[in-house]
Amino acid sequence: MQNKKLWLAIAVLLIIVVSAIVLGIGFLYLINQPEPVRAGTIVEVTLSGPVSEFPAQDPWAEMFSSGGLSLWELHRVFRTAAKDESVEGILLEIFPLGASWAQIEELRDIISEFKGSGKPVWAFLSVDMVTEGQLYLASTADYIATNPTAGFLVNGLMAEVLFKKRTLEKLGIKPQFIQLKEFKSAEEYTREELSPEIRGMLESILVELQNRFIETVARDRNIESADVQELVNLGLAGSQLAVEMNIIDETAYRHQIRKRISEEVKGSKRYRGISAQDYLESTGFPSGGAAKAHVAVVAANGTIISGKSEAFAGLMGGTTISAELRELRENDSIDGVILRVDSPGGSPVGSDMIWREVTLLEEEGKPVIVSMSGVAGSGGYYISMGAGRIISQPSTITGSIGVIFGKFDVSGLYEWLGMDVDRVKVAPNADLFSLQSSLTQEQRAQIEDWMNEVYRDFVQKAAEGRSMEYDELEPKAHGRIYTGAQALDQGLVDQLGGMNVAIAEMKNALNIDQKDQVQLEVFPKPKTLFELLASGKLLEIGQPPLLRDLMAKELHILENPGVWMLAPEIRIH
């Protein structure tokens, strides 16, 4: 009897707590409703740190996100503001950015499309030192200002690779890496300097990126390319010199910029601004009632594994993404899929699972358009190559068609530490992937045979996807990475641009007019806290994994080496 009373008391307490939470959230929702947008409004867009591709999928993920708007949400803000008669323009405030060059180009596309409405864009660089990426983005605006004390560190691009071979030697660790082709290497572990092939590849990428930056800024600012090159050659310059060179318009403080804007806005007596977040909430989601087609937008972001996706660890699961694509293939209300790829690759099995579902969508008559973001290399290219069309930004890092194998022999480190390892094995190759021994010649030969099989399959599928013969595409592979512009020249992508181009290509694939509307839906659909409460699945929110669990996953990967489709990481300064 006492147990029944105890359970009844617990149940009542839970009902009271949940009711209090619901009422509290509802109250906060009501008091935080944004005011209606009034005439003469300026939408204030703040960009800082890394820029995510899509909104967080659930409240837990949102809690641990950077807090800024995603590229997807920024698309909505600018498109809605372009048509909103109450909005007079956009004030873009740029803080230190963590966006890739391709993401910056995506933002430039968004801004350029907005400017087509005839409304102005003002940019304020709220940084101590203006760098190439920030200037590349800001130059799209009609007006650029910095704080009077800001400097310009526009000193040219550089890629650095940290080599660990000598450190590993001192620790008694032997890297066991096998590369098939000259551009697919792990030479940071096996060499002390760049190989001629990798050096030439990196130089070609840097030269192209820098030339595009110089030419674009010069065109946007209506000055000569030589003027921008002069700024690059100087390396470090003050903001006043940047004004004199017409790199920016003036130096000013934030309140002075707002005063300037209020003077330029017709019929406005004072500055009236609204944050992009509040503007997004006040405008709501666009209606799809008049849409000619419904298109799913699927995020394919992170390092690819064969299992389930883990957003907090930056892992894209082949099982997860292929299941989502399968559901969309079987969903009669979905007419096509835009696959937004931002991945350096990873597991061949996970990549192949996703590739297969992409090809099945195409075979079912549901077109797939790939939109590449910062990186779509190796496995990231693999999952893209079955699509009907591949769209890439000029500075996307892509290609890297190839495979690599690697493990470490740490027996020397154990010996140095005074640790002994003994073993019992019941088969000759039971220690094939052991971290306590090096590969024998026979084991190395076995792995190379496997790698060649995976490589030939990768190249063959890429050739079929690009309508080429194997021998025509294979020389373009070899693990070499390309910029999007270089990949276009090699026939590895179809067109340069961002989501705007992908949407236009989807309309072409669906045989509908470019003026017609398509309803875009992100999958899986993000859930609000209210939706989770209403569905009774509040407790099913994917909680962030413990550090212990993440470390256990990493250790599992180290203990089970395999062939990987990974594009090399390039850090460009």
Collect all residues with Cβ–Cβ distance below 8 Å to 314 and sequence separation of at least 6: 301, 302, 303
pLDDT one-digit tens code per residue, 386-418: 999 999 999 999 999 999 888 899 999 999 999
* CA atoms of 189 and 116, how far apart (whole Å): 50
Highest mean pLDDT among 63-72, 152-161, 543-552: 152-161
Backbone angles phi, psi at 521, to 5 degrees: -130, 125
Euclidean distance between CA atoms 414 and 436, whole angstroms: 8
Q: For the residues 466-478, what does the mean pLDDT come to?
A: 97
- Map residue 176 onto helix, strand or coil: strand
User: Of 106, 200, 214, nearest to 156 (Cα)?
Assistant: 214
- Within 8 A by CB and 6+ apart from 23, the residues are none
> Predicted confidence band at 522 (pLDDT cuts at 50, 70, 90)?
very high
What pLDDT was estimated at residue 227?
96
Checking if the pLDDT of 532 tops 80, the result is: no
- The CATH architecture one would assign to domain 41-155+235-283 is Alpha-Beta Complex (3.90)
The reported pLDDT for the residue numbered 62 is 52
pLDDT tens by residue, 304-337:
998 898 877 788 999 999 999 999 999 999 999 9
Note the pLDDT of residue 66.
55
Of all residues in the chain, the percent with pLDDT exceeding 90 is 69
* 58, 136, 336, 371 from 500: Cα distances, Å: 26, 19, 15, 9
| Average of per-residue pLDDT across 57-80 | 76
Any idea which residue has 């190439």 for tokens? Answer: 132
Distance (Å, whole) CA 223 – CA 237: 18
Residue range(s) of every CATH 3.90.226.10 domain in the chain: 41-155+235-283, 293-566
Q: How many residues does the chain have?
A: 573
Say what the pLDDT of residue 8 is.
Answer: 62
Report the C-alpha gap between 33 and 35 in whole angstroms: 7
Q: What is the DSSP string of 180-229?
A: SSTTS--HHHH-SS--HHHHHHHHHHHHHHHHHHHHHHHHHHTS-HHHHH
553 has a pLDDT exceeding 50: no
pLDDT band at 431; cut points 50, 70, 90? confident
Residue type (1 letter), 119: K
Q: To which H or E segment does residue 470 belong?
A: helix 470-473
C-alpha span between 61 and 126 (Å, rounded): 28
The SS3 of residue 146 is strand
- Choice between 60 and 443, residue whose per-residue pLDDT is larger: 443
Per-residue pLDDT, 544 = 46
Determine the Cα angle at 114 with ends 110 and 118, to 5°: 155
Helices and strands per DSSP (H, E), number in the chain: 22, 23
- Stretch 89-104: mean pLDDT: 95
Amino acid at 551: M
- Cα angle 465, 361, 391; round to 5: 50
What pLDDT, in 10s, does the model give residues 131-140?
Answer: 999 999 999 9
pLDDT greater than 70 at residue 549: no
Say if residues 127 and 95 touch (Cβ distance below 8 Å).
Answer: yes
Query: What pLDDT does 462 receive?
Result: 97
Segment 286-301 mean pLDDT: 82
Report residue 289's pLDDT band, with 50, 70 and 90 as the boundaries. low
φ/ψ of residue 429, rounded to 5:
-110, 25
Q: What is the pLDDT of residue 119?
A: 96
Say yes or no to pLDDT of 141 above 70. Answer: yes
449 pLDDT tier (thresholds 50, 70, 90): very high
Considering the chain, what is the average pLDDT of its residues? 87
Whole-model pTM over 0.75: yes
**C-beta separation of 306 from 340 below 8 A:** no
The CATH architecture of the domain made up of 293-566 is Alpha-Beta Complex (3.90)
To which H or E segment does residue 444 belong? helix 441-465
pLDDT beyond 70 at 11 = no
Long-range contact pairs involving 203-206 (C-beta distance under 8 Å, separation at least 24): 204/486, 205/159, 205/397, 205/481, 205/482, 205/483, 205/486, 205/570, 206/157, 206/158, 206/159, 206/572
Q: Are residues 123 and 89 in contact, defined by beta-carbon separation less than 8 angstroms?
A: no
Whole-number pLDDT of residue 59: 52
Q: What is the mean pLDDT of residues 30-40?
A: 65
Cβ atoms 376, 341 nearer than 8 A: yes
Give CA–CA dist 462/351, Å, rounded: 13
CA distances from 70 to 73, 111, 128, 131, 235 (A): 5, 15, 24, 22, 32
User: pLDDT-derived band of residue 539, with 50, 70 and 90 as boundaries?
Assistant: very low
pLDDT tens string 207-236: 999 999 999 999 999 999 999 999 999 999
For strands 87-97 and 121-125, give the pairing: parallel
pLDDT band at 33 (very low <50, low <70, confident <90, very high): low
Mean pLDDT, residues 508-519: 94
Which of these ranges, 245-254, 338-347, 479-488, 525-534, has the smallest mean pLDDT? 525-534
Query: Looking at residue 55, what is its pLDDT?
Result: 87
